[in-house]
């Protein structure tokens, strides 16, 4: 697939939303798909609270690119490196809480997270023999519980 199709579709969406100052860079060197990087001066509205607008924009882009070009590989959208920073923060939180759980031997429930964020926690702590992770709850209240591995 020609990555310019992804770039042009992304630019088209942004222009229709009134975002004329945004630049789009496509990284097709990732093993797990194509990363679409948007840089813009005022990204907070594009990202939205907790990244909700970013996730909605990513879904829209996936649908349009998939239908227009029969594209099947995963697309990951990031705006001003929000996702990269968020992932870093989640990994840090997971390590800090795991350390606490290891010392106190008491489980800790993290705040509710979407499936992608929960996966980051599970992956980050999978190699630690002193703690285990489990997702609990339903829908929007689903969260990760970090427990001591007795």
For residues 144 and 16, give the distance between their C-alpha atoms in angstroms, rounded to a whole number: 38
What are the distances in angstroms from CA 47 to CA 34, 50, 58, 83, 110? Answer: 19, 8, 10, 10, 22
Q: Which residues of the chain have pLDDT under 50?
A: none
What are φ and ψ of residue 25, in 5° steps? -125, 135
pLDDT at 3: 84
pLDDT digits (tens, 9 = 90+) for 68-111: 888 788 899 999 999 999 999 999 999 999 999 999 999 999 99
**Is the pTM of the predicted complex or chain greater than 0.85?**
no
* Other Cβ atoms within 10 Å of 4 Cβ, number: 9
pLDDT at 103: 97
Please report, for the chain, the start and end positions of each structural domain, with discontinuous segments joined by +.
3-80, 85-148
**Matching CATH topology for 3-80 and 85-148?**
no
pLDDT of residue 40: 94
- pLDDT at position 132 is 98
Task: Give 52-106 as a DSSP string.
Answer: HHHHHHHHHHHHHHHHHH---S-EEEEETTHHHHHHHHHHHHHHHHHHHHHHH--
pLDDT at position 10 is: 96
Q: Which fold has domain 3-80?
A: GMP Synthetase; Chain A, domain 3 (3.30.300)
**Residue 1 pLDDT:** 62
Q: What is the reported pLDDT for 33? A: 83
Kindly state which CATH superfamily the domain 85-148 is placed in: R3H-like domain (3.30.1370.50)
């Amino acid at each position: 697939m020609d990555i310019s199709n992804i770039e042009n579709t992304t630019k088209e969406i942004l222009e229709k939303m009134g975002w004329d100052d945004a630049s789009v860079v496509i990284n097709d060197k990732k093993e797990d798909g194509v990363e679409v990087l948007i840089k813009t001066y005022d990204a907070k509205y594009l990202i939205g609270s907790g990244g909700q607008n970013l996730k909605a924009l990513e879904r829209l882009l996936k649908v349009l690119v998939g239908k227009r070009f029969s594209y099947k590989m995963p697309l990951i959208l990031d705006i001003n490196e929000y996702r990269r920073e968020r992932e870093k923060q989640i990994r840090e939180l997971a390590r800090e809480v795991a350390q606490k759980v290891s010392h106190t031997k008491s489980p800790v429930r993290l705040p509710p997270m979407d499936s992608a964020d929960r996966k980051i926690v599970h992956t980050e702590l999978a190699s630690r023999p002193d703690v285990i992770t489990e997702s609990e709850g339903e829908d929007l209240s689903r969260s990760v519980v970090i427990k001591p591995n007795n």
